[in-house]
Amino acid sequence: MKDPPVEADPGEAKRFRIGGMDCAACAATVQKVVSNLDGVETANVTIGNASMVVEGAVTVETIQTAVRRAGYTAQPANEPRGQLVPFWRRNPRSFSTSLAIALLIAAVATSLSSLPSLVSEGLFLITMITGGWAIARSAFAAIRQRTLDMNVLMALASIGAVAIGDYAEAAWVVVLFAVGNALEDIALERSRRSVESLRELAPASAQVVVGSTEVLTPVEEIKVGSLIVIRPGERLPLDGLVVEGNSSVDESTLTGESIPVDMRPGGEVFAGTLNLSGSFTMRTTSGAENSTIAQVTRLVSEAQGSRAPSERFVDRFAKIYTPIVLLVALAVAVVPVLAGGSFDTWSYRALALLIVACPCALVISVPASVVAAIGGAAKIGVLIKGGQVLEDLASVKAVALDKTGTLTRARPVVVSVFTFDRASDTEALGLMAAIEKGSEHPLGQALVRAAVDADSPIPLGSDFEAVPGKGATATIGGRDLWAGGPRMAGERGVHLPPTFEAVQGRGQTAVILGEGDRVLAIFGLADEPRKEAASAVDALRRRLGIDEVVMLTGDSELGRSRGLRYDRDHVLGGRASCPARNWT
């Protein structure tokens, strides 16, 4: 008994990843094929991110079959991509291109040997068939949809070459065109993969609290409101709120800030960030598809799929240009022959015109460059919202630069030391390094580096304990010492001296070294400017003519007016402003 047919759901848009597309004409063919299916209301195919969105009462299987008949593949977007494999194993079209290259080499070698010409001609013909079957299939699909594209031009050129007996020419045309398509496909795929790699920042599973036990659960199955246990060194799988425990979370993957954020119950945490120390339990506030890192990935993916004005112009141009090329080539092949010219000579010239005038490189150049630019920028943490924005960069008159991680190294260094109770700077640095040398906190590592650079003797310590979200304690030379911030000091009943506020007022992060209820030293740490920042800003002004360069920072007003003077004068120059805002 046959299974009943699967009914289509007209309510939700169906999203696919399309394989085998390497130019705008391919996207147009797929879009037209799917649009003509019964039940399809709209179909939108984008070459930039190789995606298709279909609305209407049509099944996934029907769409996949139609796309496959057109010479391409359609995979539901919610299915995993799998690993990036060599292009010759990616799909049948890539494999046939690789095989055609090997056959062409053999055919050329045979033609240069003493073997009969029939052998080399046969190899050239087999090469053309092997490398050209996908081209012919796409050309046939385009003709059925009453459109002309590059595949049609190449198919006609290769068939014409065979008709006049130039088997080698036909093989070379097909292989070179197939290799060009393969290289374009590789470039586009790598850019798309760079965006997909953003999702890998969040783990695929997490420890969910079920009753009194923990169950390892795929992230896609975790519901909003679930409790998840996060341990030191783990990345957060979803957005949520801390309900129990204290820790420090590195949010640099999302914010670029080098200083970890201390977390306590009620603190907000985000998917893709790294838990540095301490364990805590969080309650999820988003699903896998709505987490912060998923939204960033979706924004970049949509940006890749957006069409720049020049891309839209080139597409319109190609629709007119391709038929004109075909008509001109036909005229070159027919008119001179009617006037008494040689059929072989003018047919050959017409075929050459088809090949040389093929607009494939022109049509693919704009979307390929847009995808490569947006994908490459996303890989280094820059979000460009589409081709339109990318082109608008050419007319920019003012530039706003983020401070942390852009103008600065996002690596804190010790810039000031204040000692009390007759302790020397060298002794204070050594004691602080003795406490922090076992810490993974960026501030602790910066203090250890400062002690080493200053040749401060670092005594041996014992009983080291990291206090998540507060600091650390250790016993040094029989003394019970602690290092941390205001929370650690407050728990020990310490009255902070005015120096602490002064250090904070300079835009620095203040770290306290204490013993019992006494403050032994206060260290000011700050993010140092990049060496190349000043020259980069100068290049913006001198080479691009941008006069207004602004630094965006979340530092306080007092820190902006005092501590940021070094940044403003030595990086941006005195004419730039430094608004004190939190930019997200």
Task: Kindly list the catalytic residues.
Answer: 402
Query: Rounded to whole angstroms, how far apart are CA atoms 318 and 247?
Result: 58
E strand or H helix that includes residue 400: strand 398-402
**Can you spell out the DSSP letters for 220-279?**
GGPPTT-EEEE-TTPBP-S-EEEEEE-EEEE-HHHH--SSPEEE-TT-EE-TT-EEEES-
Q: What dihedral do alpha carbons 33, 35, 38, 39 form, nearest 10°?
A: 150
Query: Rounded to whole angstroms, how far apart are CA atoms 47 and 188?
Result: 9
For residue 344, give the DSSP letter.
Answer: H
479 contact partners, CB below 8 Å, separation of at least 6: 515
- Residue 122, number of CB atoms within 10 A of its CB: 14
E strand or H helix that includes residue 22: none
Q: What are phi and psi of 505, to 5 degrees?
A: -65, -20
**The 3-state secondary structure of 433-478, one letter per residue:** HHHHCCCCCHHHHHHHHHHHHCCCCCCCEEEEEEECCCEEEEEECC
> CA angle 531-575-380, nearest 5°?
40
E strand or H helix that includes residue 14: strand 14-19
> CA angle 390-53-298, nearest 5°?
45
**Can you spell out the DSSP letters for 102-118?**
HHHHHHHHHHTSSS-HH
Token pair listed for 188: 């586009």
Token pair listed for 353: 């015109």
Own/partner pairs, 301-304, CB within 8 angstroms, 24+ separation: 301/49, 301/51, 301/195, 302/49, 302/386, 303/374, 303/383, 303/384, 303/385, 303/386, 303/387, 303/389, 304/48, 304/49, 304/191, 304/192, 304/195, 304/370, 304/371, 304/374, 304/375
**The 3-state secondary structure of 505-533, one letter per residue:** HCCCEEEEEEECCEEEEEEEEEEEECCCH
C-beta separation of 158 from 173 below 8 A? yes
